[in-house]
Structure 1
Amino acid sequence: MLASRRWPGRLRSSLAFASAPGRDTPRILFEDLKQKFGHIGAVNQKQVGVWNLFEILRVVRSKKDVGYALQAMNLFYNFGVKLKHRQLSSRLLAATMIAKHESEAVELVKLYGTWLDTPPDSALVYAVMSKCLDDNKPMVVRELAKLMREDWRFQLEAPLYSLAVQGMLQLPKEQDPMGEAFALLQDAAMMGVRLQPKVHLQLLDECLQAHTIQATSESDEPDEEAVHLDRALKVADGLARDGHVTAGSSAALCSISWLLWHLSAMPSDARHALLEGCDSLKAATSGCKWVAVLELACASFASKSGFAPQLPGGLFRSLEASDDIEAQRMVKVCRGSFGRFYPEDVSPESDVTQ
């Protein structure tokens, strides 16, 4: 009698095996796993465990395969099979990314705490955030960054803030992308997380570009113009504090030169007021003019520490559009020093003038 009850299950398993293109597929592994559970849920937990789920996750290749893995997890939970393993959430997240099931991956990161004991590996979460950046989904990046920032089980690291800053800079203009990115930069400094210079430079160049556009437009919003420059100064002060101004790359020196270019056009009182509190920047650029800093960038470009593949194009658009003799001279010097790395203006008309 007992044997007759098992025949239908064996028959289904055999048919599935015959129709499957390969033995180790999530569907077949899941069907085999179900055969180990009795009709009333009786199962030997010494023979069934998390390793069975790992076997399924190992061969996941599609969204449908992810579904079989989740069904297997549901089967374990329903029949009281313990799934306590520190790599479970990481392997599940990796499988969803391999299957290109990004929405499920995002939900897993957001809700893992409700059904899993340990968080997924941070590097895998960064991979999910990077994919969202590629898909131009900054709000998802912000949501994941917020979750990791507030979850004590995740360690605060530079990649988290770097990806979050890039995501915020993708926000629409009406959502103040630079303000959001600047807030993240300040939070990183407050939490003692040192970011790579390129993160600071990206935000610095964005602020200077926005200030340049605002200054040359016919807008009646001087306060917004001052906000952009104030943020640029604070970002530059962070660069100087970490030593990337006195011993930085040519890209950093070009950005600092661009900042000094704007400051040189301001009245002395206004300039000193803006520099208030930026002690590191003032110490690093004391007595320096934008020309001297740009010449240093040209001189150090050929060195290993000074080379930079990307230079701030906004600076050179400003110099090219200027009638200043020194600006015109430095354009020629920079073209000769930077060669093919000189950022040419590819637009029909220059959007930036000074």
Structure 2
Amino acid sequence: MKSGTPSIAQDVSSGHRSRPASRRLREHLERTGIVVVLAVLVAVFAIREPAFLNVDNLFSILQAVSIVALLGIGVTITLAAGGFDLSVGSVAASAQMAASYVLIVWHGSALAAVAACVALGVAAGLFNGLLITRLRVPDQLATLGTLFLLAGLQLIPTGGRSLATGTVMPDGTEASGIFPDAFLALGRLRLFDIVPLPVLILAVLTVLAWIVMETTRWGRVIYAIGGNETAARLAGAPTSRYRIAAYVASATIASLGGVLIAARVGRGDVSAGHSLLLDAVAASLVGYAVWGAKRPNVFGTVVGAVFVGVLLNGLTMLNAPYYMQDFIKGVLLVLALAFTFSVGGRPDSRV
């Protein structure tokens, strides 16, 4: 064999050297792709509109996405358990109406309003969980039913009207209560006149949810149920109780989102929550693509919510047509998932 002709062994050796390099590149792109795109978006918007990087604007973005991110965390927990909570938007909307009713009609305190919202969330989660585990209703159908149930239920006490001081109730009486400052502070207070309280609440719940899902037995069992419920049951896990707990956690977190909506708006708005479900689901699914997780994860969901928030805020500052926003969010979701499960996850077929 001539010295200048490469041998088969050299070809195979070269292939083995090049394959890990390409695989490492794909893994790197898979792990950092969404974060890199987010950084590029921030840079582009900052160049086109320097006010985008204003501290107040950045925290306004975080405040705007905080409720979506909270609902997304709830959806993420149910996705991890092999389910899908479609009722989070209606739970949040019903909670903000419940808080408004307690304050304006019943003249309750801020603590009573928050307690009523949490109780509503726990009840909705139990209802979903029992439908799914006891009556064997598929997750999507059970939570879709709860979505419509709560969407209609919140309209009955006020006769379909939004609720504010001075609202005339169906029985002819006038609601004379007010939103106390202690309640409004939950949605409007800024620590050091910079950081909105909802952002801090989101940060705390994100850390707690991440710790529970990633480092505790409860979280490991939830992921095991989502991976193979039968195997988890045979291993001794009380799968029904864990699935009910997942839906209770999701609805309770959504009810806290409803509290923040009511505190920020200062009224019970019957139109609140209409777009929250789609945004929360989008954030949860985009989270699959963060750091190459390819599974529901709390941190990825929050990054997904911030991604969507940055995108929409930047487009608004650039005067992009509002009717393009849903289309752009859809493109974002499709591209993120396509990258994660196709480009990032494609096995290397070379020998």
TM-score band by shorter chain is under 0.3
Give 1 or 2 for the bigger CA radius of gyration: 1
Which has the larger share of helix?
Answer: 2
**TM-score w.r.t. length of structure 1:** 0.20
TM-score between both structures, scaled by the size of structure 2: 0.20
Which structure would you say has the larger RCO, counting Cα contacts within 8 Å and 6 or more residues apart? 2
